[in-house]
Every structure is written in structure tokens, then in C-alpha cells.
Amino acid sequence: MKNASKKSSIMYMKYSAEPIVVLGLLLFAVLVLSLPYILRDSTVMFGDEAYYHLRIASLIQEKGIIKFDPLSYGGRPLLTPLGLPFILAKTSSLLNMGLEIISKTISFMIGILSVILFYFILKNLNIKKRIRIIAVLTFIISPLFIYLFSRSNYYFIPLFLNLLAFYLLLKNQKILTSIVLLLTPFFGIIHPIIGLLSILIYTLIKEKKLSIWHYVTSIIVLSITLIIYLPILLKFGIDKLPVHQQLLSDLGGKISLSIFALILSLIGIIVTWKKKHAYTALHISFAVLLLAAYFYNPVLIYLNILLAVLVSFGILKLIERGWESKFIKNFTILIFALGLIFSGLSYIKQASDSMPNEEIFESLSLIKSREQKTVFSHYSNGYWINSIAEKPNVMDPLFNYAPKLDEAYLDSQQLLYSRNLENDTKIIEKYNIGYIFITPEMKQGQVWTSDEEGLLFILKFSKEFKKIYDKKGFEIWEVNLED
């Protein structure tokens, strides 16, 4: 009787402790996602891509589903996925709240829900509790988690949907799984493919065969994907894939992994390889995503999840293996732990320091109500020009399917670096440029290294340009070629 009572007590403690563990993980996630805003000096929303989605959401609120963007590159067909802007627009209208608040709240809340899903996916896969906890902690502190859920971007909703679909599959909720997968094509072409692949790989390894449900769901999801994207591919072709981004966050990548996580994941692969029959799906999925990420950088958002699992195996191996020196053991574990934390903290700092700041917002707001002419600047400022000033730009970071991209780039380089007013005037007239926006970064190496280089010389000594804003290195010049 005493043994039964003791066993019952142990089981009660085991199951009652889990909600506390999950709550602790959620609080940690809340802290990590809040830090960029806590450390930020400005109340202005940070990031550039988020402003693009806000602007498209605003257009959807005004006009419904649109097919043309009047401001990017002076006007272009709207070919980016509309899933996120549509959700922002409709949620904002439904709750009668501002788009910016909705944008911040949705990414934050979906980040928290993704943590919960990740934990319970691992639990349903019978992953040990210690592995689950370490994996989720690694996921939360990863630069990609912070990037995904601290601001609006293309990827956070489809990642959540694919996590939800996989969790529902584990719970044998096939109809709900299908419904969730059917939503993924509206956020990009890669997400339904990865969602289906993950389910097919898992099912084939576990059950050795596919059911009618798998075939029907795959056909419907892929059909929706083709209906959305095949016309774009046929008309505009397959655009260049964005392989230029760096893969390692410690070396400055935007969508990136931690180099310390990669090292620990190698240990994790060695550990799980010894039980490869139990982790075949993990190894195959990791290899497929790693190869895909080499060609298409955003696949890293999915690879990062598997990486967190492998890292947890690697860390646990370091903790449990026999060491001749306890000091070396503790020191090694400390180095890796600090490495993971440093990668996360450095990205948090990078996010908190991200533009735009008050000066960008103030300066571009100044010309919002002025004559509707193009604003010229470095292309990295293009989203803010469109969203804050509500003016056309010459270029912005959305290179995919940009009209006459090479021509716009060469003209921009010519205008930035030339001292020939006659040639500059031709470019200004070509793009109907009415304003020139200069930032401190442009004058500190992003474009120029001296005060009288290229366009700066023209602005300083030509009467055709009038400075209408100058604060903390931010300048706006008005163009008047008629005088």
C-alpha cells in the first residue's frame, strides 16, 4: 500500500511539474522577444520588411486585394505573397486597432504559440523531457527565433502553420491537418512543399506506406500552390534565389544560424547516429533542409528547429559523458552555453539598434504631404520611403521581379557617385525625382567616405537642390530643376 502511495505521489509530481516547465519556457520566450523593445531607445517600430507589410496591408484595407504596387520601384506588379498583409488588414479592421499594434502583437503571440507547439511536438515524439527543455531553450535563444517573432516578416506565420499541421498529424487529426496545410501556399511557394515533405518523410519512416489521405492532401495543396504561383512563373520566369545572405549570425547574417549551434549539432548527429533507426526521419529531414538552405536561404527557418533538437542531444552528451577533469567538463559546457547565449544576445542588440529611428520617421514624415514625386536614396531605405513618406522610390530591398532592376541599379550608382550635373539631371528627370534622402550611414561608408564625394558635391554646390531637413546627419534635399 505504501509503495502504491509512493508511486502515485511520484507520478503526481511528474505531471504537475510539466505545466511549471512549460510556463517557465513561455516566460523565457516572452523575455527574449521583449528585450529588443526594452533595449530600444526609440518607440518607432524597428525593421524594414515590417513596414512593407504594413503598407500593403493598408492598401488592402483601402482597396481590397490588389495586384499593383504604385510605390515600389516607382510602380510594379505586386507578386509577393499576400497572406500576412491580408491577415494584418482584416485583424486590424475586426479589432478596430492600428496596423502597427496588430503587427507587433501577432508576431509576438504566434512566437509564444510556436514555443508551445514545438514542446508538445517533441513530447508526442517521445523525446525525453531533458532533451525537450534544452531544445526549446535553444530554439528560443536562437537568432532566427528573435528575427521571426519580434517583427512582421514573410516567414513567421507559415512556420507556425507547419508546426501546427505536424502536431495535428501526431494527434491523428487528419482533416484539421489538411485544412492547416491548405493555408500555407498563401504565404509563399516553399512552405507547402516543406510542410508536405515533413509529413511524408515522417509517415513513410514510421508506417512504411502512405494512405489515400496523404495523396489527396498533397494533390490539393500542390494544386492551390500552382494556381497561385504558376502564372507568375510563366509570365516572369524563375527569379534569382536569394543565396547572398550569410548563413552564420555570428558573422552578420540576417536570416541566420549560430555557429555554436552548428558545432553542437554535429555532436548531436554523432550521438543520434548510433541509434539511427530511431532518428532516421530527423537525419533525412536535416540533410534535405541543409541542402535546400544552401540554394534558398529562408529554408533556414525550418532547419533551425531540427538544429535545436540536435543541439540538445549534443549538450546532453557533454553533460553525461565521462570526463577525466571536472573542470574541463564544466568549462567546455560553459563555453558552448555562453556561445549560444551570445549569439542570441548579439542579435537582440542588433534588432534593438535597427532602423528606423525617430529622425528617419520625422524627416520622411516631413515630405509626406508634399508633392507626389519620387524620393531617391540608398535602396536600403526604400521601404521606409514608401511607408512613412508614402512616396515612390527608385529602388528598395525587394529585388525579386523588380522591373528593370539592373537599369535602376546602374542609374542609382551613377547618381550617387557622379559629379556631372548634366548626367545627374537626366537620371532625375527619368525617375521624376523630387527629393533626395541622405542618412548618416550613407555618409559613413555605406556610399561615401568624404563630404564632397559624388552626389554630396552636387548637392552642396548646385542651386538646383535645396536642403529642407537637417538633423543628426539625416538630410532631405528638394529638387528644383526649373530654376
The per-residue pLDDT for range 114-133, each reduced to its tens digit, is 999 999 999 999 999 999 99
47 and 77, same domain (yes or no): yes
Amino acid at 30: V
> Are both 434 and 346 inside the same structural domain?
no
Same domain flag for 291 and 363: no
Q: What is the mean pLDDT of the chain?
A: 90
Per the model's pLDDT, the better-predicted residue between 434 and 279 turns out to be: 434
Domain boundary among 352, 374, 397: 352
Q: Judge if 51 and 184 occupy the same domain.
A: yes
Torsion angle (degrees, nearest 10) of CA 292, 293, 298, 301:
100
Per-residue pLDDT band at 320 (split at 50, 70, 90): confident
Question: Nearest 5°: CA angle at 104, between 309 and 145?
Answer: 15
CB-based contacts of 203: which residues, under 8 Å, 6+ apart?
Answer: 169, 210, 211, 214
By the 10 Å C-beta count (0-12 exposed, 13-18 middle, 19+ buried), 173 is classed as middle
Is the pLDDT score of 15 beyond 90? Answer: no
Residue 116: other Cβ atoms inside 10 A: 16
Q: In the listed set 331, 352, 373, which residue is the last one of a domain according to the structure?
A: 352
Domain count of the fold of the chain: 2
Q: What is the pLDDT of residue 225?
A: 96
Beta strands in 29-135 (DSSP E): 68-69, 76-77
Q: What does the DSSP 8-state code read for residue 239?
A: P
pTM (predicted TM-score): 0.91
pLDDT at position 99 over 90:
yes
Decide if pLDDT at 8 tops 70: no
Residue 232 and residue 123 share a domain: yes
Q: Cα–Cα distance between 13 and 278 in angstroms, integer?
A: 29
Looking at residue 127, what is its pLDDT? 93
Q: How many helices (H) and strands (E) would you count in the chain?
A: 20, 6
Q: Which residues pair with 69 in a beta bridge?
A: 76
Query: DSSP per residue over 274-320, as a string?
Result: TTTTTSHHHHHHHHHHHHHHHH-GGGHHHHHHHHHHHHHHHHHHHHH
1 has pLDDT over 80: no
> Stretch 34-60: mean pLDDT, rounded?
93
Residue 47 DSSP SS3:
coil
In whole angstroms, give the CA distance from residue 465 to residue 65: 39
Q: Which of 483, 454, 121, 440 is nearest to 308 (CA)?
A: 121
Tell me, yes or no, whether 385 and 345 share the same domain.
no
Q: Are residues 389 and 333 in the same domain?
A: no
pLDDT above 70 covers a percentage of the chain that reads 93
Residues 211 and 331 in one domain: yes
362, 348: one domain? no
Residue 404's domain is classified under what CATH number?
3.40.50.12610
If DSSP codes are grouped into helix, strand and coil, which group holds residue 412? helix
Residue whose entry in the numeric block shows the C-alpha cell 548626367 = 423
In this structure, of 218-222, 272-276, 350-354, 438-442, the range with the lowest mean pLDDT score is: 272-276
Quote the pLDDT of residue 137.
97
The answer on 303 and 217 residing in a single domain is: yes
| pLDDT tens for each residue of 356-395 | 999 999 999 999 999 999 999 999 999 999 999 999 999 9
Domain match, 313 and 443 both: no
Domain stops at, among 320, 352, 384? 352
- Per-residue confidence band for 330, with pLDDT thresholds at 50, 70 and 90: confident
- The distance between the two most distant Cα atoms of the chain, rounded to a whole number of Å, is 100
Nearest to 159 by CA among 198, 217, 129: 198
Please state, in angstroms and rounded to a whole number, the distance separating the CA atoms of residues 85 and 94: 14
Residues 140, 102 share a domain: yes
CA–CA distance, 38 with 40 (Å, rounded to integer): 6
**pLDDT number for residue 482:** 72
Range of the domain at 343: 2-352
